[in-house]
Amino acid sequence: MYARAAGLEPARLPRHVAVIMDGNGRWALGRGWERFNGHRRGADTVRAITTECAKLGIPRLTLYAFSSENWTRPASEVEFLMDLLADFLRSELPTMLENNIRLESIGRVDELPERVLFELANARSATAANTGTILCLALSYGGRDEIVDACRKLADQAARGALDPTSIDRTTLQSALYAPQAADVDVVIRSAGERRLSNFLPWQAAYAEYVDHPALWPDFTVADFRSCLLEYQGRERRFGAVPTR
Ligand code: FPP
């Protein structure tokens, strides 16, 4: 089996992996190049890690592709990232289809430019029937915004008399998230050696294991990804309970 050959325990693979892809800018600047080049190479890493998840049979991979805070970057960098996203969604479609990958997105996607929305809708509908790994791109995503948006949705239902406020519990709030059906995040992986959650999936990652890796995202390899999964598999997950012996 592929997972075992990759040195991983198939029964203990995470169901939901979330990745904070950090270090594109540093990778480029370290070579005396413009930051754009780091993002371009970062897209190659996205392709490699997504394909690896499909081969391993990991059900869901969420990538922090553009945060709500990233809008504050220089306009030229934002433009470049949007073009890169649109290109990626178009050029990667055959690979997604070949690997049975379904594309999804979370975030305030209506804030994205028309060209990205077009490619996103196209890739989503073209891959909708795929049954393998779900590649979920977090776009214009902020974890606190997601919770605010969920609260607004529920408040609206309550105001219309469709929801009894006293009945609201965790399941109700989960149902109002951007991807309500998604399993909790098992492991958050962050490249470039940083150890911050940066407003990424705070609700979904409440019990996630956190693994950081020193490689800058453009240098992050399939072997690095496997080593992160191996570290995850070595952790004892307790979910607040006492250890079982
Ligand atoms: C962080 O690096 C990365 C981003 C803000 C954007 C992530 C985008 C990509 C990996 C490329 C395209 C993505 C897809 C899905 C095609 P940084 O710029 O913050 O790096 P730094 O911390 O070294 O400056």
pLDDT in tens, 61-114: 999 999 999 999 999 999 999 999 999 999 999 999 999 999 999 999 999 999
Mutate to test the pocket of ligand 1, among 31, 53, 120, 217 (most ligand atoms within 8 A of CB): 217
Which pLDDT band, with edges at 50, 70 and 90, does 239 fall under?
confident
pLDDT, tens only, 22-64: 999 999 999 999 999 999 999 999 999 999 999 999 999 999 9
Angular region, 196: left φ>0, alpha ψ -120 to 50, beta rest: beta
Which atom of ligand 1 is found nearest the CA of 42? 10
CA distances (Å), 96 to each of 36, 45, 119, 208, in order? 24, 15, 14, 27
CA atoms within 13 A on the CB side of 216: 15
Which pLDDT band, with edges at 50, 70 and 90, does 238 fall under?
confident
According to the model, what pLDDT value does residue 240 have?
A: 78
Spatial CA neighbour of 61 closest among 41, 45, 79: 45
SS3 for 71? helix
Tell me the C-alpha distance between 189 and 225, whole Å: 9
Which atom of ligand 1 is found nearest the CA of 85? 16
User: Measuring from atom 7 of ligand 1, which residue has the nearest CA?
Assistant: 65
CA of 43 to the centre of ligand 1 (A): 9
CA of 155 to the centre of ligand 1 (A): 34
According to the model, what pLDDT value does residue 230 have?
A: 98
Which of the 8 DSSP states describes residue 185?
P
Q: What b/e string do you get for 149-163 counting C-beta neighbours within 10 Å, with b at 16 or more?
A: bbeeebeebeeeeeb
Spatial CA neighbour of 113 closest among 94, 89, 146, 145: 89
Which atom of ligand 1 is found nearest the CA of 81? 12
Global confidence as pTM: 0.97
Q: Which residues are catalytic?
A: 22, 70
